[in-house]
């Protein structure tokens, strides 16, 4: 009996080692194919340079839907289809202008961009004195007496001491998101917000903002970090200086758009889904390369890698190219709502929306027990520099799937440069390194392979 038990233990140990070696060989082939094939990078180049910025409701967003559908169809997948989404349509109009006039320093043009979904200025623009604040508490203390008729200048920077650039962003972005609403309560006529960037340059960064529907809507713009520093310095010597800005944005009626979806059907469990995704829309002032053209082409690339390497998944592998992440997340909401209505069973969902930088790991929005089970695969990623498996946030679009009983996962990258480009004219194709991006594609495909092979249910 003891000998029998001994031999059983030996057999299982051998099988485990063989399985790990087999997995390592498949993973090695995934990374080699991703790093040596230029298809995904060429896809990104087309999306960025031929279509460009893809703000919701725009002709460019519609072109991106049609292009991505054709790319998926040409791959001869089992299924390619569109998921209709109603989206808002805000247009920036002609380029914004701004200048500062000081009795001490003279006049100087500065670099601004309108914040997403802001109202426009009057035709002549807005000219007013400036009050600088760092937070909403200062705003409240100043009150209507000092703020009525003024332009509020929010100058709280992203904290450079914070290693996590996403944490630094979260600590500062409230002034962009609701700064106009808060300033309007005290009679301000406009808002200028320091760009959400750690870079020291003349490039302004846009991003979504929201109004209180019961309040007054005032125009809001972002100013480059260098120009924000200059305005801060000038105000110290001349608190009566004037800031002038003119914007030309407006809303159009809501329009129809789409999530774009492609699938490889599972051989054993076709009704059980592992989803990978990124968002197809982007801001209009750049090419939407890191945010989130990369996530779009990486999701397509996961399917291409499975097809090219003839990996036959047991579960259905689905790429979802979400529309409207930047504005109202209607694509993510629609996908989650339909998943509930159809009672679709997902095994996992993975999102890439941290740019095309070197991947360092994954962030798992799941239970500690599930994360412990997933951690057994960590050693398979280590040869490729991917080491960080932690509990945390997954992604804006797949977040709406939370609560359906499966892990939602975000690809984590070395994001120290991400906010240099985020939501700005600098977010262009040439800023994406092919190898870094493809390491991310391979990491996603590897996690999908392991989830499919040893699904956590």
- Give the separation between CA 178 and CA 150, rounded to whole angstroms: 17
Report residue 142 as tokens.
Answer: 């100043």
* Overall average pLDDT of the 419-438 stretch: 98
Range(s) for CATH 3.40.630.10 in the chain?
Answer: 35-90+253-453
CA–CA distances in Å: residue 183 to residues 176, 247, 260? 11, 18, 39
CATH 3.50.30.30 placement within the chain: 93-248
Q: What is the pLDDT of residues 306-364, one digit of tens each?
A: 999 999 999 999 999 999 999 999 999 999 999 999 999 999 999 999 999 999 999 99
pLDDT surpasses 60 at 41: yes
CB 96 within 8 A of CB 107: no
DSSP H/E element including 305: helix 294-308
- Residue 175: C-alpha distances to residues 169, 206, 208, 210, 456 (Å): 11, 12, 11, 11, 41
Q: How many CB atoms lie within 10 A of CB 227?
A: 24
Q: What is the CATH number that goes with domain 93-248?
A: 3.50.30.30
Average pLDDT, the chain: 95
Whole-Å CA distances, 392 to 165, 244, 276, 362, 418: 15, 42, 17, 9, 19
How confident is the model at residue 452, as a pLDDT?
Answer: 97
Q: Could you report the per-residue pLDDT of 148-197, keeping only the tens digit for each?
A: 999 999 999 999 999 999 999 999 999 999 999 999 999 999 999 999 99
Q: What is the pLDDT of residue 13?
A: 45
pLDDT 10s digits, 359-411: 999 999 999 999 999 999 999 999 999 999 999 999 999 999 998 999 999 99
Residue 3 pLDDT: 52
The C-alpha atoms of residue 110 and residue 297 are separated, in whole angstroms, by 35
**In whole angstroms, what is the distance from residue 169 CA to residue 268 CA?**
43
pLDDT for residue 234: 98
User: Does 2 score more than 80 pLDDT?
Assistant: no
Phi, psi of 125 (to 5 degrees): 85, -170
Name the percent of the chain lying above pLDDT 90.
Answer: 93
In the chain, the percentage of residues whose pLDDT exceeds 70 is 95
Superfamily of domain 35-90+253-453: Zn peptidases (3.40.630.10)
Distance CA 286, CA 425 (A): 4
325 annotated active-site:
yes
Token representation of residue 185: 């309560």
Residue among 325, 326, 351, 354 flagged as catalytic: 325
**How far apart are the C-alpha atoms of 286 and 228, rounded to whole Å?**
21
- The reported pLDDT for the residue numbered 15 is 41
Average pLDDT over residues 133-162: 97
Name the one residue in this structure whose structure tokens are 């529907």: 213
Which has the minimum average pLDDT: 153-157, 215-219, 229-233?
A: 215-219
Distance separating alpha carbons of residues 217 and 199, to the nearest angstrom: 30
Give the model confidence (pLDDT) of 5-29 as tens digits. Answer: 444 444 444 444 445 679 999 999 9
Is 87:234 a contact under the CB 8 Å cutoff? no
Q: Would you state the pLDDT for residue 412?
A: 98
| pLDDT on residue 215 | 82
| Cα-trace Rg, the chain | 25
For 160, other C-beta atoms within 10 Å of its C-beta total: 10
Query: What CA–CA distance (Å, rounded) separates 416 from 433?
Result: 14
């Amino acid at each position: 009996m003891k000998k029998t038990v001994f031999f059983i233990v030996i057999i299982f140990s051998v099988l485990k080692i063989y399985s790990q070696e087999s997995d390592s060989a498949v993973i090695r082939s995934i990374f080699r194919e991703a790093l040596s094939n230029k298809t995904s990078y060429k896809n990104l180049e087309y999306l960025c340079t031929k279509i460009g910025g893809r703000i919701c409701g725009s002709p460019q967003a519609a072109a991106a839907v049609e292009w991505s559908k054709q790319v998926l169809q040409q791959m001869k997948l089992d299924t390619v289809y569109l998921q209709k989404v109603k989206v808002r349509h805000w247009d920036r109009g002609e380029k914004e202008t701004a200048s500062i006039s000081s009795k001490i320093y003279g006049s100087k043009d500065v670099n601004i961009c309108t914040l997403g979904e802001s109202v426009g200025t009057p035709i002549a623009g807005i000219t007013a004195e400036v009050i600088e604040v760092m937070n909403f508490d200062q705003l409240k203390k100043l009150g209507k007496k000092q703020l009525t008729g003024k332009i509020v200048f929010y100058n709280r920077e992203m904290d450079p001491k914070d290693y996590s650039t996403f944490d630094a962003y979260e600590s500062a972005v409230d002034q962009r998101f609701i700064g106009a609403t808060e300033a309007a309560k005290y009679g301000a006529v406009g808002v200028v917000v320091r760009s959400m960037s750690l870079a020291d340059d003349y490039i302004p960064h846009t991003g979504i903002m929201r109004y209180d529907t019961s309040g007054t809507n005032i125009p809001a713009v972002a100013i480059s970090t260098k120009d924000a520093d200059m305005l801060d310095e000038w105000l110290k010597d001349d608190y009566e200086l004037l800031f002038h800005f003119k914007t030309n944005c407006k809303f159009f009626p809501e329009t129809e758009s789409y999530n774009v979806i492609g699938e490889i059907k599972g051989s054993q469990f076709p009704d059980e889904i592992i989803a990978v995704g990124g968002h197809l829309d982007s801001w209009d002032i750049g090419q939407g390369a890191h945010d989130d053209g990369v996530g779009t082409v990486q999701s397509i690339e996961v399917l291409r890698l499975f097809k090219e390497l003839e990996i036959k998944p047991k579960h259905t592998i689905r790429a979802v190219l979400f529309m409207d992440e930047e504005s109202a997340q209607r694509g993510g909401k629609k996908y989650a709502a339909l998943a509930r209505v159809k009672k679709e069973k997902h095994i996992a969902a993975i999102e890439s929306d941290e740019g095309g930088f070197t991947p360092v790991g994954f962030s798992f929005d799941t239970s500690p027990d599930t994360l412990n089970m997933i951690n057994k695969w960590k050693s398979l990623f280590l040869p490729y520099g991917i080491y960080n498996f932690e509990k945390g946030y997954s992604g804006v679009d797949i977040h709406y799937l939370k609560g359906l009983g499966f892990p939602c996962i975000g690809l984590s990258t070395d994001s120290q440069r991400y906010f240099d480009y985020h939501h700005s004219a600098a977010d262009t194709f040439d800023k994406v390194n092919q190898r870094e991006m493809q390491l991310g594609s391979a990491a996603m495909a590897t996690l999908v392979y392991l989830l499919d092979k040893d699904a956590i249910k």
